[in-house]
Amino acid sequence: MTEYVVYAPDDGTALGVVARDDAASIDVKADRALQAMSRWSDLTPMKRAEALLKIAEATRERLPELADLLAKEQGKTRKEALLELDRYVGPFLQYAGLATLAGGRHQRLGGEVHGLVDRGPVGLVAAIVPWNFPASLFGSKLAPALAAGCGFLIKPAESTSLITLELARIAQAFLPEGLLDVVGGGPDVGDLLVTHPSVSRVAFTGSTEVGRRIAARAGERLKRLTLELGGCDPFVLLEDADLRGAVRALMGARFYNAGQVCVAPKRLVVHERVADEVVEAIVERLDRVALGPSLGADSTMGPLHSEASRDRIEGQVADAVDRGAKLLGGGRPTGSTYDRGWFVRPALLLDPAPTSRVRVEETFGPVLTVIRVSSDEEAVAVANETPFSLGASVWSADQARAWRLARQVPAGYTWINSLARVYDELPFGGVGASGFGREHGIEALESYLEDRTFIYS
Ligand code: NAD
């Protein structure tokens, strides 16, 4: 096995070395997980629930040091890391309860004929996740899979392997040996997992491009699959809306995690009558963003995760400006604090041309695109102009108008006059180029279960 090094995005420090898996080591991990799964799925649901609660408790006891590791490795601020870890823990609490409800059903079929639907674990799960939320995207897959009785292999992005290994270590203490394992490596190692004959279910979060490839590879082998892919959410702000509330919601969602969030309002679609006022309010708030090191006491925004991320967002901004957009803010900060990290200042892009990359591609960084519209019909047309359909926000004081418009934007998750928060209680996922399948809620648990029907008389 070879190794790779993980570096801090804010100052380039080498944080650790991780073993890279290969076909042989994945065979060993998959075999061990399958064997452990037979013991795990044989436990009473109450016992599995108890283990989930213990994982939640043990993780919480280590929150300060986990937050520091997550922040340093991913690049987010400590406050953002604590929020993410809270979202890692949440599903363990939720699915501990639901584990006891994942039963099948019995149905009488006339005379002495009976039907029994037996629900069991779908099998060994391979989860593949990106670097933007390495902890919460792990927890939202692991907890329902464990509740269902599955074995679980997780492949993080190489650059966020350390927090994954640490969280897995905590969980492993409460699980049969080998049931949960971490697989280290990049795309080729991910492919080995997707195509591994022992893997029954693939849970992927990442880009649409890679999602397509994984769908093809998993499809050839008829594996169960969920795809949580990219997004370029519209935030539709109508002239009669509570503008202060809308700007607060927009800022909290767009610039969180330095704008590297799948479900985030990346395009503000605003009625021309209030556009100038809204832009002014946003600029005022952008001026208050404190860009700084992940663990800096005053930092409210960290660096981008990698050089490639920064290059991409800078390329998209340059493209929009070349095609006539007006740029407010942005650029690289100067000074010794920023010299060795992937920092970029938050920015607004006003009125980019329809052909601009920012209007059709996902923008994964602290840039908000602002597009003025003059009617509800135009707002819907602009909202629907990307291939993505992950999230959407609609703000209007007229509830009927807001709902009418929201129904015309086919997103998986829509907020109407609400803060763009994702709730563990409700199913989350996209449609179209944003993927398929749902995480969170009872729906996620069901995606880790397989039904078998028996007829007896
Ligand atoms: P990516 O698709 O490049 O990589 C994601 C993971 O897939 C990594 O672990 C990577 O090593 C692995 N991978 C890459 N190629 C593979 C292959 N051929 N076979 C198997 N595994 C492979 O994604 P990224 O650029 O690192 O992450 C950002 C993307 O993730 C954005 O598009 C973002 O919107 C998306 N995302 C979506 C959600 C959601 O819930 N919908 C949440 C977070 C991030």
Question: CA 85, CA 25: separation in Å to the nearest integer?
Answer: 29
For the chain, domain boundaries = 3-229+434-456, 233-423
Nearest residue CA, atom 35 of ligand 1?
206
What are 274-303's pLDDT values in tens digits?
A: 999 999 999 999 999 999 999 999 999 999
Among the options 228, 362, 439, 446, which is catalytic? Answer: 228
What are 342-365's pLDDT values in tens digits?
A: 999 999 999 999 999 999 999 999
pLDDT for residue 379: 98
Ligand 1 geometric centre to CA of 18 (Å): 19
- H-helix or E-strand spanning residue 51: helix 45-61
Mean local confidence (pLDDT), 31-40: 98
Q: Catalytic: 65?
A: no
Question: CA 314, CA 123: separation in Å to the nearest integer?
Answer: 43
**Per-residue pLDDT for 451 more than 90?**
yes
Mean local confidence (pLDDT), 203-213: 98
**Per-residue pLDDT for 137 more than 80?**
yes
Question: Quick one: CATH architecture of 3-229+434-456?
Answer: 3-Layer(aba) Sandwich (3.40)
Q: Is the pTM of this model over 0.95?
A: yes
pLDDT for residue 103: 86
Mean local confidence (pLDDT), 304-314: 98
Q: Which residues line ligand 1 (CB under 6 A)?
A: 128-133, 137, 155, 157, 186-187, 190-191, 194, 205-207, 210, 213-214, 228-231, 262, 362, 364, 390, 430, 435
Ligand 1 geometric centre to CA of 129 (Å): 6
Q: Catalytic: 228?
A: yes
**Per-residue pLDDT for 411 more than 90?**
yes
User: 233-423, what's its fold?
Assistant: Aldehyde Dehydrogenase; Chain A, domain 2 (3.40.309)
pLDDT for residue 99: 94
Strand ranges (E), 61-172: 105-108, 114-121, 124-128, 152-155
Q: Which atom of ligand 1 is nearest to the CA of 157?
A: 9
Ligand 1 geometric centre to CA of 205 (Å): 5
Which tops the pLDDT comparison, 1 or 264?
264
Q: Residue 447 corresponds to which tokens in the numbers above?
A: 């995606």
Q: Residue 52 corresponds to which tokens in the numbers above?
A: 């989930």
> What DSSP letter does each residue of 216-281 carry, written as one string?
HHHHHTT-EEEEE----EEEEE-TTS-HHHHHHHHHHHHSGGGG--SSSEEEEEEETTTHHHHHHH
pLDDT for residue 417: 98
pLDDT for residue 102: 85
What are 318-337's pLDDT values in tens digits?
A: 999 999 999 999 999 999 99
Q: Which atom of ligand 1 is nearest to the CA of 133?
A: 43
Mean local confidence (pLDDT), 183-199: 98
Ligand 1 geometric centre to CA of 188 (Å): 13
**Per-residue pLDDT for 316 more than 90?**
yes
Residue given tokens 């363990």 in the structure block: 92
**Per-residue pLDDT for 310 more than 90?**
yes
Q: Which atom of ligand 1 is nearest to the CA of 228?
A: 41
Q: Are 203 and 126 in contact (CB under 8 A)?
A: yes
What are 211-270's pLDDT values in tens digits?
A: 999 999 999 999 999 999 999 999 999 999 999 999 999 999 999 999 999 999 999 999
- Where do runs of H (alpha helix) occur along 287-368? 307-322
Mean local confidence (pLDDT), 429-444: 97
**Per-residue pLDDT for 207 more than 80?**
yes
pLDDT for residue 69: 98
**Per-residue pLDDT for 61 more than 80?**
yes
What are 119-128's pLDDT values in tens digits?
A: 999 999 999 9
pLDDT for residue 341: 98
**Per-residue pLDDT for 1 more than 80?**
no
